[in-house]
Amino acid sequence: KAGVTQTPRYLIKTRGQQVTLSCSPISGHRSVSWYQQTPGQGLQFLFEYFSETQRNKGNFPGRFSGRQFSNSRSEMNVSTLELGDSALYLCASSLADHSYGYTFGSGTRLTVV
């Protein structure tokens, strides 16, 4: 079965712009979580969506937002980009219950210049 698909793989944006990243979970997985990975901060939890509702939220500013569609696909948006937003953004899908862990996508590498 297909894995978690993230698009695009790479993105270069200018400070002040906004960006939308997409994630298609494994078929049958209804939970989608987003993480930001940077060398200094490791994997930081952004938010989780389940059945089109945000179920968990991390400690990121309101510039970071997300949504989930009825087919479980999810998007995250970052507005007013800052240089510090440069990171690998990872999407992970799971069943409703996280006990078996997540399956991660390959990530979107965002560079803000």
With contacts defined by CB under 8 A, name the span among 14-22, 35-43, 64-72, 78-86 that binds other proteins. 35-43
Judged by CB under 8 A, the residue of 28, 62, 70, 97 near other proteins is 97
Site string for other proteins, 49-88 (x = CB under 8 A): ------xx-x------------------------------
Report the nearest approach of other proteins to the CB of residue 16 (Å): 28
Query: Residue 5 and residue 8: Cα distance in Å, rounded?
Result: 9
Q: Which helix (H) or strand (E) holds 54?
A: strand 53-57
Furthest C-alpha separation in the chain? 39
Query: Residue 101 and residue 45: Cα distance in Å, rounded?
Result: 14
Report the nearest approach of other proteins to the CB of residue 48 (Å): 6
Find, among 90, 84, 101, the residue nearest to 4 by Cα: 90
If DSSP codes are grouped into helix, strand and coil, which group holds residue 27? coil
Contacts to other proteins by CB under 8 A = 4, 33, 35, 41-43, 45, 48, 55-56, 58, 90, 92, 96-107
